[in-house]
Amino acid sequence: MSRRRHRYQRGSRTRRRLGSGAWRVRARVERFGEPALLLLLREAPAHGYDLIDRLPELLSDERIDMGNLYRVLRTLEEEGIVHSEWDEHAPGPAKRIYELTDDGGALLDEWAKALRGTAETIDAFHARYEAKGGDHVPR
């Protein structure tokens, strides 16, 4: 494999060399924001600001963009996964409250199955890594 990079390539988005033998790695589950959002809505209907406050509980250090959240919610509503209504009884200006539909609950169930499979794969990786002397630093 050639070490030469094309001008338009920026390198890996999941790993970065910090120095001699040191790395920073971001192990991410791609598209995890959607199942996290669906889980929060299964727990309780919510408006966007509430979801922005609660998503870090599930997404750890991942940055949450408010505009992107509302685009995702609109798409989920168009697909029948969530439903929303204006809540004019809440303090302050009226807010759109989102809730999970039956189709959204079924989708969340499928996400949970898929993520369980991913977790099992990761657990097998860790077991094999630790059995072979994990956390070994080359000399």
Domains observed in the chain: 29-131 (1.10.10.10)
Is 80 exceeded by the pLDDT of residue 63? no
User: Region 15-38: what's the mean pLDDT?
Assistant: 80
Q: By percentage, how much of the chain surpasses pLDDT 90?
A: 50
Q: Which residue has the tokens 């168009």?
A: 78
Q: For the whole model, what pTM was predicted? A: 0.76
